[in-house]
Amino acid sequence: LMKLGQGSFGVVYLVEKLRFDSNSTEPIKTGKYYAMKILNKKQILGQNLVKYAKTERDVLTFTHHPFIVGLKYAFQTPEKLFLLLDYAPGGNMSRALQKDKRFAEDRARLYLAEILLALEDLHKRDIIFRDLKPDNIVFDKDGHALLTDFGLSKVGVMNNTQARSFCGSPAYL
């Protein structure tokens, strides 16, 4: 396990899928990696964040798009919720901006197009992604931008009167 990040109500780890051969007691590495988001149920219930955890799982369950992080597995124990997501080895946009200071125009244009296509797909499904910031844009192995972290999303929005709540990350307000 390697810690990849800390979210508002979860921790994300890099995990490798293992398989077991009937002839051996030792696990066999597959080379297939996932980002495993672990949510603590006690913390979610204590901070009244159940709807955010459920929204994230729901959005990821019915959304499949090349520029949105995919949900591969979801399961729970009595204490925790687990989401196994596509691993994005390129890190997030916030780190890339810290490293590069600014993106070349062509690179920025490509990221913008990918993000807009992802947002368009969400809007077609009546979902508003309400936490767009560099921390929530990650890069896959080929350098493509992917949206992630759907806890603040609003599902079932069919007109402009259904999403009036104020939300966002304090650092970006």
Helix, strand, or coil here: 116?
helix
Which one is catalytic: 86, 131, 135, 149?
131
Q: Tokens 């890190």: give the residue.
A: 91
Quote the radius of gyration of the chain (alpha carbons, Å): 17
Our CA angle for 88, 112, 167, nearest 5°, is 80
Q: Distance between CA atoms of 92 and 145, rounded to whole angstroms?
A: 9
> In the chain, count of helices (H) and strands (E)?
4, 9
Instruction: For residue 140, indicate whether it is catalytic.
Output: no
DSSP state of 160: T
CA 133 to chain CA centroid, nearest Å: 12
Q: How many CB atoms lie within 10 A of CB 84?
A: 17
Tokens at 44, concatenated? 């979610």
Catalytic residues: 131
